[in-house]
Amino acid sequence: MPLHINTPLIESRPLSIAAHCTVNLKLDALQPCGSFKLRGVGHACEIHRANGAQRFISSSGGNAGLAVAYAGRKMGVPVVVVVPETTTERAKELLALEGAEVIVHGSSWQEANQLAQGLIKGSDAFIHPFDDPLLWTGHASLIDEVAASGQKPDAVVLSVGGGGLLCGVVEGLQRNGWHDVPVIAVETQGAASFHAATLVGKPVQLDQITSIATSLGAKRVCDQAVNYLASHSIHSELVSDQQALDACERFLFDHRILVEPACGAALAVVYKGAALKSFSNVLVVVCGGATASLEQIRLWAQKTANNP
């Protein structure tokens, strides 16, 4: 039994009307730890466990760390998550709720990650948040489930942070014979490391992340995400923080599900509609995210409205 669940695939009337085409939602916000990350992280943890891992180590204060904490608790394997001081109280609380040991270290992810790397001993497994083929193979199960439903989309819309979800979805499309289904890869301005890579054909290191969509905040995407540009049709789209936040509020109203701005980014492209005008049947990966509250989303929206 895998750790992730087979999530609902539902038609959305409000998004279909907004985008002038049929929009189906893959509701990975409903995974037990709140995001799609459990697909790949669960798969990686199972393989490491089978190979004798006694402890899982993560340096993500976001949904990847939460997925590792969830997987460890379910498998009876201790988990250590090292997070920087900038991690929200809410994220630390969620990690503690899963029984993970949380170590707060350093002012940036780089510093937290350095400490995490130093903790790794012989029987430990480090679980990367996006750059690992085991993760992509696990994420690909999302497309297997859509294929099993018999509904072939003519495009897939998803968010891109470090590119793990993108790699998993492309792997899933290709292993189901859906090589002809393009992917619309969405980022917020200020976290657009994949967009920067598409312009030059190789990964680019951003100086800084300025978007509030912290789950998209990888300064550099994984090489495989860029390699796929050669073998798959992938269109890069950008939205503003404001548009991502508006999409979160609108999606909460339309479907009664609260998602992070990282997921709101993909939804914003659907609500805007323009980028989808050549398609008739679009699949949207509702990737979810457990770390945002409605209060936080409204605070961000106020701030971005004051400093557009």
Ligand X SMILES: *Cc1c(COP(=O)(O)O)cnc(C)c1O
> Under the rule (CB under 6 A), what is the footprint of ligand X?
35, 37, 62-63, 130, 159-166, 215-216, 218, 260, 262-263, 287-289
DSSP per-residue string spanning 180-228: T--EEEEEETTS-HHHHHHHHTS----S----S-GGG--SS--HHHHHG
Q: Which is nearer to ligand X, 160 or 204 (CB)?
A: 160
Count other C-beta atoms under 10 Å from residue 230's C-beta.
8
Identify the residue whose tokens are 């992938």.
Answer: 234
Residue 147 sits at φ, ψ, to 5 deg, of: -65, -40
Strands 281-286 and 234-239: unpaired
Q: Which is nearer to ligand X, 12 or 211 (CB)?
A: 211
Q: Which is nearer to ligand X, 152 or 174 (CB)?
A: 174
- Give the nearest distance from C-beta 165 to ligand X in angstroms: 4
For residue 163 the two structure tokens come to 């590119």
d(CA 139, CA 36): 7
- Give the nearest distance from C-beta 28 to ligand X in angstroms: 9
Q: Which is nearer to ligand X, 22 or 270 (CB)?
A: 270
- Give the nearest distance from C-beta 70 to ligand X in angstroms: 13
- Give the nearest distance from C-beta 123 to ligand X in angstroms: 27
Beta-strand ranges (E) seen in 28-78 are: 55-58
Sign (positive or negative) of CA dihedral 112, 114, 119, 125: positive
Q: Which is nearer to ligand X, 42 or 62 (CB)?
A: 62
- Give the nearest distance from C-beta 216 to ligand X in angstroms: 6
